[in-house]
A and B are shown apart, each in its own frame.
Chain A
């Protein structure tokens, strides 16, 4: 009876109603807004540069770059929602990629051994970042800034001549191959996005990531081990960076010693353009995918429109500032409302 009464009131009552709150709608529209921008850019380029943009080769190239960026940026999304940041991701990308290349080419390791080793190495580097940050209470900004320099230094000291060589076989096929005209990277990206989106939005761990970034004190009071959550996020980023390294080597068969320099900016740009809050507590994997798509189209578009490559930096920087300003402005208005 009491049940019935409750349910009865639910439809009309003050608490009930099936309306998705304002937040839900805003969050949905935010992702929708980002999607609209991405589609608008695509359509614009398709119209203005039909002959160069809408070619199979160009689109495949764009998709390959967006895919790698998305995979790493998804990891960064976890870290940033948990209220931290990882600036070492570009150096980590370089070290893991060239390390894998060294194992496969110079040492002649079987990829079945080299691949798990590199994935573990990525996870371990993430663990180190997370462990130092949470144990000593140093801002991750500083810890990972140190790691940015340190890991690049390790790469440059260790590798004098970057190895280059085709591994061949299943390794090249699963990371650098094509199904119909679609490059393997795209499938990896889709898989990563689906699994990560599910983990972040549906699982208990995902809920705890949002709580940890949103209000660490409250999360800790509620019994959430925020230290473990943050370390896990750094480890996820490390693992995904290692996955991207495998894909890269399977595709390009080698990288330069400076690979990944400045890449942290592209990754963070993709994440914040995708609507993840710079100070944690809000964001989404799908948003990050859309953010990566926007930066990918921006880079490609500027080249196709005949701008010098150096202007890319200007455009990217401006877009980051614009995206964060817009986001902060929207959030401030929400808070006041």
Chain B
């Protein structure tokens, strides 16, 4: 089974000629006695939307955290555009163009949009004074570029809708210079209309050449936007499919483990 998975990944890799934007090989990570990631491989190509799916505890969040510097892998290598890199903390990841949009969005509700887009990276004009005009200007530009509809960059983030807040978090990731953006459950907390807007935004990011990794439970949304679907199970790679060559049924089978389905059918 594992053999088969590995060979299918190799075959898929062979017909892509460009270097992956990000490649992780043989990532292992354990917490005390729990082996959270075992020999996991993961690649993202420039301008690609990859869905990272799996059941709870499959290791998808841990993998995301390793790749964005929140966790440190016990073993394994990470390459950016073919160059080996070390990611020890979120700053390292940021410097390499990797940005994260957390599920809880990590926004400061009491502050305005511009302050959130620049959170922790406020530009200075001297004497430690924050260059607010520049923050306002650049926030507008990035929101405009992403065609994000926000009443005003002076608006308090807590007053915005869930989708708008998601958009602000994405704008921040883009403004950080993210070439690869991880999104943890980007649609989970949203209404149906807002979900559609966020999915559209993910497609717009792709059109701009930004690579996006969507960590999600929602297979319908995964099939709406992803180019490629990477499935994890029990801390290992469970399979990887090009969206156009697979079905939701097959992905579900990979998520829960094909043998278990067969067992259930027999029973």
Contacts and interface: CB of A to CB of B under 8 A. Distances in A.
The reply to whether chain A is a binding partner of chain B is yes
A160 interface: no
A15 B143 contact: yes
Contact of B112 (A23, A202, A217): A23
A204 B108 contact: no
A204 B131 CA distance: 9
A204 B130 contact: yes
A10 B140 contact: yes
Given A206-B130, A221-B90, 12 more contacts: A15-B148, A17-B152, A21-B155, A21-B156, A204-B124, A207-B115, A208-B120, A211-B115, A214-B108, A215-B108, A281-B111, A334-B158
A22 interface: yes
A113 to B, nearest CB: 30
B109 interface: yes
A22 B109 CA distance: 13
A281 B110 contact: yes
Nearest to A25: B154
A203 interface: yes
B207 interface: no
Contacts of A15: 140, 143-144, 148-150, 152-153
Nearest to A335: B158
Interface string B103-136: 0111111111101000111101001111000000
A187 interface: no
19 contacts: A6-B140, A6-B141, A9-B144, A19-B152, A20-B154, A21-B112, A23-B156, A26-B156, A208-B120, A215-B106, A218-B105, A218-B107, A219-B120, A221-B106, A222-B119, A223-B94, A224-B120, A281-B110, A281-B111
A131 interface: no
A202 B130 contact: yes
A220 B108 CA distance: 11
A6 to B, nearest CB: 6
B120 A223 contact: yes
Nearest to B143: A15
A14 interface: yes
Interface of B: 90-91, 94, 100, 102, 104-113, 115, 119-122, 124, 127-130, 140-141, 143-144, 148-156, 158-159
Contact of B109 (A14, A26, A281): A281
Contacts of B158: 334-335
A138 interface: no
B154 A23 contact: yes
A16 interface: yes
Contacts of B107: 215, 218
Contacts of B119: 211, 218-219, 222, 224
Interface in A1-37: 6, 9-10, 13-17, 19-24, 26
A214 B111 contact: yes
Given A14-B149, A15-B143, A202-B129, A218 B155 contact: no
Contacts of B120: 208, 211, 219, 222-224
Binding site secondary structure of chain B: loop
A195 to B, nearest CB: 12
A208 B121 CA distance: 10
Contacts of B115: 207, 210-211
Interface in A215-237: 215, 217-219, 221-224
Contacts of B150: 14-15
Interface in A256-282: 277, 281-282
Interface residues of A, number: 39
A122 to B, nearest CB: 23
A59 to B, nearest CB: 36
Contact of A207 (B104, B130, B143, B152): B130
A337 interface: yes
Which residue, of B110, B152, B155, has the highest number of chain A Cβ atoms within 10 A? B110
A208 B104 CA distance: 19
Contacts of B156: 21-23, 26, 334
Contacts of B153: 15, 21
A17 to B, nearest CB: 6
Interface string A280-322: 0110000000000000000000000000000000000000000
B140 A210 contact: no
Contact of A277 (B102, B110, B112, B121): B110
A205 interface: yes
Contacts of A219: 108, 119-120
A19 B106 contact: no
B42 to A, nearest CB: 22
A24 B112 CA distance: 9
B122 A204 contact: yes
Nearest to B102: A221
Nearest to B70: A221
B159 A334 contact: yes
B128 A204 contact: yes
B172 to A, nearest CB: 8
Contacts of A204: 122, 124, 128-130
Q: What are the 6 tightest A-B residue pairs by CB atom distance, in nearest-first order?
A: A222-B120, A23-B156, A21-B155, A218-B106, A214-B108, A21-B154
A221 B68 CA distance: 11
A98 B166 CA distance: 54
Contacts of B159: 21-23, 334-335, 337
A299 B64 CA distance: 58
Contacts of A335: 109, 158-159
Given A211-B120, A334-B158, A223 B91 contact: yes
